[in-house]
Amino acid sequence: MSTSSAPTPAPELNLEASSVSDTANPSPSGSPLAGRQGVGGAASQRPMYYEYKPSEIVRAQHGPELRCKTWEAEAALRMLENNLDPAVSLVYDELIVYGGAGRAARNWKEYQTIVRTLKTLAPDETMLVQSGKAVGVIRTWAHAPRVLIANSNLVPAWSTQEYFDELDRQGLMMYGQMTAGSWIYIATQGILQGTYETLAAVADRHFSGTLAGTITVTAGLGGMSGAQPLAVTMNDGVCLVIEPIDARVKQKVREGYVDEQARDLAHALELCQQYKAERKGYSVGLTGNAATVLPQLLAQSFPVDVVTDQTSAHDLMDYIPEGNLDEVLQLRQDNPAEFKRRALQSIVKHCQAIIDLQAAGAVALDYGNNLRGQAEKGGLRVRDEHGQFLYPGFVPAYIRPLFCEGKGPFRWAALSGDPQDILRIDRALLETFPENRMLRRWIEKAQAKVPFIGLPARVCWLGYGERAKFGLIINDLVARGEVKAPIVIGRDHLDCGSVASPNRETEGMQDGSDAVADWPLLNALANCASGADWVSLHNGGGVGIGNSTHAGMVIVATGTPEKAEQLKRVLTTDPGMGIFRHADAGYELAQQVARERGVKIPGWK
């Protein structure tokens, strides 16, 4: 593929050619996932510029001292550093934060350029970042965003994984996932409450309000996947989680997201049955492959109450197929096409086992990693005669009513690095919303069971009106010195009005508008206009290139009156997009919320 002329449409790409060599910068071998790239050849062909990698491990600076000219730029720098902290990131040497290949910066050379630019950015300047590379600084306003980020975006007809991978291999783009490339990742906690809320809804609908006495089976223990076993135990259930990389199981046990690692399958099932009988929340990690283990559960008629999955299935290069781990990882390096064929084969087997477990009586739900979509590409029938998936995604099945109220994953991080700042904000949160029993239960469980990894942070689900109210309270805590430094406020891109993803957040929309991507574009534009401190727009997060468009926003509570005005606008605008989107799609709950809370929708009486 020539990069100097108009691109050939994606289906006709020759992916064997490469115009870039990076033999001077070999890929490190210290991680089992090192070298995950390389669609047309070895991973070392992807330019990473390891000579620019800092001599000291990257970790977020703590405390009140500034290296940048504003707290907004300093916050962006610290959150970028936090994304890469080895305690937080998935594959540090390759700048991969989570989600298979979600990067914080394109390579180490561009990371250094971003850092230098943030340190010199004037209070009325904005840095432009194109797929992990700083490409410009423009004069704007003090209340304008300090950083604007676009990651992985391609013209729709060219927006395929293969076309993206070729550009990525040449060093022209990077995959930003959702919060990796927008610098607001806070480790597994980031999706933990959403997972907790989902499983609480499963418990309410199917198990009389609790998962006690039930067994949930899932797979994947990457950066985000550890949320599932902990969320199950927070709802008092037993969880069996399967992961092919033994080191990841051990890591999640160390971090507290998994209670115990089983010796083998028989030991795992024995533990699950024991804690089910005791009606005690407990999670068991098993080193193995879901495509192998799930059929074994079926063969043994093992009683599974809930089955889901959170492996990295969105990109075939990130899904580990069945077989000897060392051999399949070597295959990924030597023969990517064969690796992807085997990955798809395993995905089909994995997805069929979920369908079979559902037929055997389990509650099955897709947790948004596009496993069903990939299995469908592999020839498996995953839809009924009406075109509906044989087992539902978690959003249409359990979460969409929350989206209709403008609710979603609202998060904050303490730039001081002091966990006491988060605990002070926890207290303010419970004082502000004393009637919210689910929120109180979440905060109490999070304080008891969720470790702080990297910069101390918290997440909770707040809705329209609540986010703005609480953002002003956080700003006031900063102004009064009750927390030791400014607080970064952001959210996941998985939110009520920031994403179009037909196999996840916008699956099965009431009006059929699942694939309409205008909404996340409007979300990004509206947050810029309202005064967010950095705004991002990505392609493919969670479900793979070409399958989603999504936007992120971050704003920093600095304690000033001027920032209070920005917080009020941004934290009203952002969840308001969820009300607009769902009211427009015909959801009566969203329309009711809009009328009750004074959300202005043109054309309404």
How far is 151 from 105, CA to CA, in rounded Å? Answer: 10
Residue 45 has which token pair? 């062909």
- Burial label for 564, CB within 10 Å (0-12, 13-18, 19+), is middle
Catalytic-labelled residue, pool 272, 460, 496, 528: 460
Output the DSSP codes for 462-498: E-TTHHHHHHHHHHHHHHTTSSSS-EEEEE-SSSSSS
How far is 175 from 169, CA to CA, in rounded Å? Answer: 11
Residue ranges of the annotated binding site for NAD(+) are 99-100, 177, 243, 248, 289-290, 310-314, 319-320, 367, 542
How far is 282 from 275, CA to CA, in rounded Å? Answer: 7
How far is 3 from 10, CA to CA, in rounded Å? Answer: 13
Other beta carbons within 10 Å of 154: 18
Other beta carbons within 10 Å of 273: 14
Strand partners, 408: 462
Is the CB of residue 423 less than 8 Å from the CB of residue 484?
Answer: no
Is the CB of residue 334 less than 8 Å from the CB of residue 348?
Answer: no
Q: How many CA within 13 A on the CB side of residue 553?
A: 34
- Amino acid symbol at 271: L
Residue corresponding to tokens 């700048």? 95
Residue ranges of the annotated binding site are 99-100, 177, 243, 248, 289-290, 310-314, 319-320, 367, 542
Q: Quote the DSSP letter at residue 374.
A: H
Angle of helix 518-530 versus helix 561-584 axis, rounded to 10: 160
Is the CB of residue 544 less than 8 Å from the CB of residue 315?
Answer: yes
How far is 74 from 66, CA to CA, in rounded Å? Answer: 7
Q: How many CA within 13 A on the CB side of residue 289?
A: 19
How far is 91 from 85, CA to CA, in rounded Å? Answer: 10
Q: How many helices (DSSP H) and strands (DSSP E) are in the chain?
A: 19, 17
Does the annotation count 460 as an active-site position?
yes
How far is 492 from 591, CA to CA, in rounded Å? Answer: 24
How far is 22 from 47, CA to CA, in rounded Å? Answer: 5
Provide the 3-class DSSP secondary structure of residue 291.
helix
Phi, psi angle pair for 298, to nearest 5°: -65, -40
User: Any alpha helices (H) in 49-147, and if so which ranges?
Assistant: 71-84, 108-120
Is the CB of residue 329 less than 8 Å from the CB of residue 336?
Answer: no
What are the distances in angstroms from CA 390 to CA 184, 218, 301, 395? 34, 18, 21, 15
What are the distances in angstroms from CA 157 to CA 22, 161, 325, 457, 513? 29, 12, 35, 39, 19
Q: Which residues are catalytic?
A: 460
